[in-house]
């Protein structure tokens, strides 16, 4: 564990807490894409199947359980909570998840490290996480008056991905056998998807205006 990875994981955790805070405090999930949340739940579900087969550390196990629990509770609120579910912008959240799920599944079958079910599902989760933010970014572009908590949620997610790149550089330099091309390429692509968002986020911050994506 290095400082970049710890910072990345904590930023990821805080982003999820910010989203839960928004839902609790405002009783609203306005501007949040259920499609992205569904995809993240799928990502965690498939990636953390090794919870049952391999013990890495207490930190690792606890974080996996927290990510699984929080992602499913967010989906629960958005789908079933009496008040919150009515604030979901279903008409605006139109991205077709199938267009990213199928290519990621095909890619995982073709490009993986090992022909085993667990490994292919794990690889699928890596590819899927890289593009799972797309429905959220599309919804943000359509949302007038993005609220602060939603903007900060996406900002924290992007920061978490950026910190993971620093972690990989650090590990590449300090751990001779650490090579993960699938994870690195997917991660760099994923971080790239936030570049546009970051530009408008800082523009809004500098000009002291509300965030809006053109």
Partner 1 sequence: LGTTASKDEL
Length of the chain: 214
Handedness of CA 16, 211, 195, 108 (dihedral sign): positive
Q: How far is the CB of 63 from partner 1 (least distance, A)?
A: 5
Q: How far is the CB of 198 from partner 1 (least distance, A)?
A: 22
Give yes or no for residue 52 binding partner 1 (CB under 8 A): no
DSSP 35-73: HHHHHHHHHHHHHGGGGTT----HHHHHHHHHHHHHHHH
Q: How far is the CB of 18 from partner 1 (least distance, A)?
A: 18
Give yes or no for residue 88 binding partner 1 (CB under 8 A): no
Give yes or no for residue 99 binding partner 1 (CB under 8 A): no
Looking at 90-180, list the stretches that DSSP marks H as alpha helix, in order from N- to C-terminal side.
98-110, 117-131, 134-142, 148-174
Residues 66-85 that bind partner 1 (CB under 8 A): 67
Contacts of 208 (CB under 8 A, 6+ apart): none
Residue placing its CB nearer to partner 1 in the complex, 95 or 168: 168
Give yes or no for residue 45 binding partner 1 (CB under 8 A): no
Give yes or no for residue 27 binding partner 1 (CB under 8 A): no
Is the Cβ–Cβ distance between 75 and 17 less than 8 Å? no
Tell me which of 24, 142, 179, 210 binds partner 1, using CB under 8 A.
179
- Secondary-structure percent of the chain, ordered helix, strand, coil, rounded to 5: 75, 0, 25
Tell me which of 7, 51, 63, 75 binds partner 1, using CB under 8 A.
63
Residue placing its CB nearer to partner 1 in the complex, 30 or 47: 47
Residue placing its CB nearer to partner 1 in the complex, 122 or 194: 122
DSSP character at residue 17: H
Tell me which of 26, 60, 87, 92 binds partner 1, using CB under 8 A.
60
Give yes or no for residue 207 binding partner 1 (CB under 8 A): no
DSSP-derived 3-state class of residue 202: helix
Rounded Cα distance, 131 and 125, in Å: 10
Which stretches of the chain bind partner 1, using CB under 8 A?
5, 9, 12, 50, 54, 56-57, 60, 63-64, 67, 113-114, 122, 164, 167, 171, 177-183
């Amino acid at each position: 564990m290095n400082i970049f990875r710890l910072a990345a994981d904590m930023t990821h955790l805080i982003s999820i807490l910010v989203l839960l805070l928004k839902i609790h405090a405002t009783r609203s999930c306005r501007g949040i894409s259920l499609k992205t949340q569904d995809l993240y739940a799928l990502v965690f579900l498939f990636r953390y199947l090794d919870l049952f087969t391999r013990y890495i550390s207490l930190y690792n196990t606890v974080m996996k359980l927290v990510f699984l629990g929080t992602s499913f509770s967010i989906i629960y609120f958005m789908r079933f909570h009496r008040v919150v579910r009515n604030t979901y912008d279903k008409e605006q959240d139109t991205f077709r998840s199938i267009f990213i799920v199928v290519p990621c599944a095909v890619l995982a079958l073709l490009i993986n490290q090992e022909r085993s079910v667990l490994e292919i599902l794990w690889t699928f989760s890596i590819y899927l996480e890289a593009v799972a933010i797309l429905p959220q970014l599309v919804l943000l572009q359509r949302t007038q008056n993005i609220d602060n908590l939603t903007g900060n949620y996406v900002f924290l997610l992007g920061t978490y991905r950026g910190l993971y790149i620093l972690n990989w550089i650090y590990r590449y330099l300090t751990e001779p056998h650490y090579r993960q091309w699938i994870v690195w390429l997917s991660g760099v692509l994923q971080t790239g998807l936030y570049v546009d968002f970051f530009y408008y986020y800082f523009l809004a911050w500098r000009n002291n205006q509300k965030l809006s994506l053109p």
